[in-house]
């Protein structure tokens, strides 16, 4: 009897937590896509993800109409070289942040299908481990620090 | 039971000692140019530039900031080049006239001089690209202590990427290598490094 009620409450608890999608628990801020030099066919999306939940969550994939392929990547510093590698997911720790920034974790846009212009937003959809998706409209940011402050 | 425990402890200890002496930069299976413990010597070189053969000594009298990168480099090169650009724009006209940023392509199979000269002016109109044969590139990189290797990326959507060391080499007005500045050196730091050389007489 005892076991059964415990089981019921466990089931209830898990179904309750499953009720809210990850998209409701992870806040995305400061997102942008980096402008590219002429002829460059790859760019990257950067952002800060804050997890308000008590469980870790993960981005498992991303997609965008602006690129043929979208992959999750990171940089590591090994043997004196900067190495860029695809990662299976990006973890956003419970109560913490995942920072996607130059030189670190990022969402790679490979084979750009549109010219990246400063006044035209880029749409990127990120998918979490529960299958829920968050559509983002990201501004294109120039690389030059002076140019960024000049407007 | 005890014996197994002993063996595994011994194995872990051995592994620990092995790791202590494991020097990945001496591993022969890597295609990377090996990082040597000796200080890089730098020195003159000649490669293909915008107007044909271009040598480091053509820039004698200038401070040269030399970078090894490639045009399809997704993140690392743009970060460094935009910091170098920011430094250029902080210098006075007089100082800027004595500074040259050069990028040697570590992807000579895909980068042409035309590609480099379309790519680099995005960062600053004065930046120049140089490209050579894979052998020439490797020889120069070795003298400067730069390392790089091709890396397959993801499902091959990118073709390949090039893992590379991301130092910027500071060469004085006499053509001597004086410093290597690490990845993500800021524009302000480049400016100080350039000015410290310009004030040396």
The yes/no answer to whether this complex scores an ipTM above 0.85 is: no
- d(C-alpha B6, C-alpha A106), whole Å: 45
Cβ contact B157–A68 (<8 Å): yes
Given A34, A41, A80, which is nearest B147 (Cβ)? A80
Return the minimum-mean-pLDDT range out of A26-30, A47-51, A141-145.
A141-145
Closest CA in chain B for residue A106: B75
Q: Do B154 and A143 touch (CB under 8 A)?
A: no
DSSP for B120-154? Answer: GGGT-TT-EEEB--HHHHHHHHHHHT--EEEEE-T
Lowest-confidence pick of A25-29, B5-9, B32-36, B102-106: B32-36
Mutate to test the interface with A, among B78, B110, B151 (most CBs of A within 10 A): B78
> How does residue A7 score in pLDDT terms, banded at 50, 70 and 90?
low
The string of pLDDT tens digits covering residues B155-184 is: 556 678 888 998 999 999 999 999 999 988
**What are chain A's domains?**
21-150 (2.60.40.1890)
pLDDT > 70 in chain A, percent: 82
Q: What's the CATH superfamily of B9-197?
A: Glutaredoxin (3.40.30.10)
Chain A positions in Cβ-Cβ contact with residue B165 (cut-off 8 Å): 80-82
Q: Name the 3-class secondary structure at B36.
A: coil
Which has the higher per-residue pLDDT, A147 or A3? Answer: A3
Contacts B120 to A, Cβ<8 Å: 37
Per-residue pLDDT reduced to its tens digit, A47-86: 999 999 999 999 999 999 999 999 999 988 887 788 888 8
The token duo for A58 is 């993960």
Nearest CA in chain A to B183: A82
DSSP state of B34: P
Q: What is the pLDDT of residue A63?
A: 97
Contact A127/A135 with Cβ under 8 angstroms?
Answer: no
**pLDDT tens digits for range B126-152:** 999 999 999 999 999 999 999 999 887
Query: What residue segments make up the domains of chain B, in order of their start?
Result: 9-197
pLDDT band at B89 (very low <50, low <70, confident <90, very high): very high
Q: Classify residue A129 by its DSSP letter.
A: T
Q: Do B153 and A79 touch (CB under 8 A)?
A: no
- The answer, yes or no, to whether residue B197 has pLDDT greater than 70, is yes
- State the smallest CA–CA distance between residue A115 and chain B in angstroms: 15
Q: Determine, for residues B163 and A111 on separate chains, whether the beta-carbon distance falls below 8 Å.
A: no
Question: Average pLDDT of B16-28?
Answer: 41
Q: What is the 3-state secondary structure (H, E, C) of B61-127?
A: CCEEEEEEECCCCCCHHHHHHHHHHHHHHHCCHHHHCCEEEEEEECCCCCCCHHHHHHHHHHCCCCC
A139 token code pair = 């501004």
Q: What is the pLDDT of residue B158?
A: 64
Contacts of residue A145 in chain B, CB cutoff 8 Å? 82, 86, 187
Q: Which residues of A touch B111 (CB under 8 A)?
A: none
């Amino acid at each position: 009897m005892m076991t059964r009620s415990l089981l019921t409450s466990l089931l209830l608890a898990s179904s309750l937590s499953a009720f809210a999608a990850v998209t409701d628990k992870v806040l995305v801020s400061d997102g942008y896509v980096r402008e590219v030099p002429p002829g460059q066919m790859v760019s990257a999306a950067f952002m800060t993800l804050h997890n308000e939940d008590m469980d870790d969550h993960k981005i498992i994939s991303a997609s965008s109409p602006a690129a043929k392929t979208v992959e999750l990547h990171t940089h590591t510093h090994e043997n004196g070289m900067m190495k860029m590698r695809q990662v299976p997911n990006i973890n956003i720790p419970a109560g913490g942040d995942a920072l996607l920034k130059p030189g670190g974790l990022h969402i790679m846009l490979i084979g750009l299908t549109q010219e990246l212009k400063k006044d035209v937003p880029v749409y990127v959809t990120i998918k979490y481990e529960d299958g829920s998706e968050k559509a983002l409209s990201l501004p294109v940011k120039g690389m030059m620090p002076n140019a960024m402050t000049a407007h | 039971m005890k014996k197994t425990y002993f063996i595994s402890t011994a194995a872990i200890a051995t592994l620990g000692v092995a790791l202590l002496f494991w020097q990945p930069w001496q591993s022969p299976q890597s295609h990377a140019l090996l990082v040597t413990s000796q200080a890089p010597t730098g020195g003159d070189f000649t490669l293909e530039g915008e107007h044909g053969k271009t040598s480091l000594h053509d820039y004698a009298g200038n401070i040269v900031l030399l970078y090894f990168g490639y045009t399809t480099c997704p993140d690392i090169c743009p970060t460094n080049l935009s910091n170098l650009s920011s430094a250029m724009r902080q210098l006075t006209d007089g100082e800027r006239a004595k500074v040259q940023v050069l990028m040697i392509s570590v992807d000579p199979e895909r980068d042409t001089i035309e590609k480099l000269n379309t790519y680099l002016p995005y960062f600053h109109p004065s930046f120049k690209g140089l490209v050579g044969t894979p052998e020439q590139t490797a020889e120069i990189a070795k003298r400067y202590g730069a390392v790089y290797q091709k890396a397959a990326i993801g499902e091959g959507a990118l073709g390949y990427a090039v893992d590379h060391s991301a130092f910027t080499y500071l060469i004085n007005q006499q053509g001597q290598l004086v410093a290597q500045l690490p990845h993500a050196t800021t524009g302000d730091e480049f400016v100080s490094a350039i000015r410290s050389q310009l004030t040396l007489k």
